[in-house]
Amino acid sequence: MADTAGSAIARLAREESGRVLALLAARFDDVDLADDCVQDALLQAAETWPTRGVPDNPPAWLYTVARNRIVDQLRLRASRRRRLSAAAPELLAGNEPSTGLELIVDNRELGDERLRLLLLCCHPALDRDAQVALTLRLVGGLTTAEIAAAFLVSERALAQRIVRAKRKIRDARIPLTIPADIDGRVGVLLGVLYLIFNEGYLSRGATPSLVRLDLADEAIRLTGQLIELIPENGEAHGLLALEMFHRARFGARLDVAGDLVVLSEQDRSHWDATMIERARTVLQTAVACPGVGVYRIQAIIAALHAGAETAADTDWAAIVDLYRILERIDPGPVVVLNRAIAVSMVDGPETALAEVDAIDGLTDYHLWHATRGELLYRAGDPAAAAEAFRNALSLADNPVEQRHLRSRIDMCSAGEEPGAMSDLPDRHR
């Protein structure tokens, strides 16, 4: 029973805690308190479920227990305030906190509680890194370790960032509302949703699966809801198309044993053709909107992959050109890494390896080492390739990726023919 309870609690924390938190935060207008009480309720589940059994409706149980804890906390606060007012009223006179309602004009006809919470996390009073980290933590339900991996920062630094952001929301009494004009937060929102989808595409935690369908599908759902609020924003449409193109490939990314299948070896008949068509329709809307942006460019790259009948038919030269455009408007080491992979398919591994070795800032990123391993092996240096794969293995957390990297190390030792490039996701910040 303990194992069953543990699995149920883990699933509840991953899949439902964000939704419950959003509902409670909207009801009580206190994100920090709601988060604390949801975490307390999960701890109570860990203490009681192994002996008492899993409730029939775990999300309802979590909501009820967390709600009751919030009510208890609010009653305690009110009692303390009444006692303070009676004993020393001068300490409270003229010291009532501002509601902060002047910051945002609320329109409660738009969106659901999770979108409302997402917009709160992206409030302009918070810096960009805090906005993204807090949204991933509260709305996306990611752990601190997973968010830290997405940011390529230490877990401790990320945890401190989240605490500071929650404290700022609490101290400034930023309201849980949807603004009438959300244009100022669109860029952050899109970045948040992209990182959530990326965590679903390639889980950074030590989870048994490479993918997390819950996160990927939630990112798609929230992106679609965002488009309902800003239907003329081309980048929002571009992000949705990008997510859908990648989501369409999930059925072919793992074999029956749960091991990674690289892009060039995937059975494309297992790609979701219906979703690809939907993605193309969304992309058409995106490119028809004025301007150009990072998500539309990436969606076009994904469309080129989706449109190739075989890996050999992929228009890698066009993909290189698109990455060069992307590098101009959104420079960063991961963009260069992805461009180098495409360059290797056009100009060979030696040219690409020189570009990869020139990249700064990715020595703690296991996919940089994995890419070097692939290029070195294709360039005819299996010993150096094996060392690069070992470096990647030391940094990888996901068991599926670890098995894949071990197989690459074995490949180098066996002297097998050079294989295809690993299926590396695009990650841009």
The CA distance from 242 to 263, in Å, is: 16
Beta-bridge partner residues of 179: 106
SS (H, E, C) 119-135: HHHCCCCCCHHHHHHHH
Report pTM: 0.74
pLDDT-derived band of residue 365, with 50, 70 and 90 as boundaries?
very high
User: What is the sign of the dihedral through the CA atoms of 72, 118, 163 and 59?
Assistant: positive
Show me where the domains of the chain are located. Answer: 2-90, 330-429
372: its two tokens = 């070097």
**Amino acid type, 6:** G
The more confident residue out of 11 and 357 is 357
Closest alpha carbon to 45 in 28, 34, 57, 33? 57
Q: Report pLDDT digits (tens) over 253-303.
A: 999 888 999 898 999 999 999 999 999 999 999 999 998 999 999 999 999
pLDDT value at position 429? Answer: 34
pLDDT-derived band of residue 116, with 50, 70 and 90 as boundaries?
confident
pLDDT-derived band of residue 41, with 50, 70 and 90 as boundaries?
very high
The more confident residue out of 102 and 135 is 135
- The upper half-sphere exposure of residue 115, i.e. CA atoms within 13 Å in the direction of its Cβ, equals 21
Q: Report pLDDT digits (tens) over 367-419.
A: 999 999 999 999 999 999 999 999 999 999 889 999 999 999 999 988 766 65
pLDDT value at position 119? Answer: 81
Q: What are phi and psi of 326, to 5 degrees?
A: -60, -40
DSSP symbol at 106: B
Q: Report pLDDT digits (tens) over 53-79.
A: 999 999 999 999 999 999 999 888 877
Q: Does residue 139 carry a pLDDT above 90? A: no
For 72-75, the CB contacts below 8 A with 24+ separation are 73/33, 73/37, 74/28, 74/33
Q: Does residue 424 carry a pLDDT above 60? A: no
Q: Does residue 309 carry a pLDDT above 50? A: yes
Tell me the CA distances in angstroms from 36 to 5, 43, 73, 211, 260, one per residue in order: 22, 11, 11, 28, 37
Domain 330-429, CATH: 1.25.40
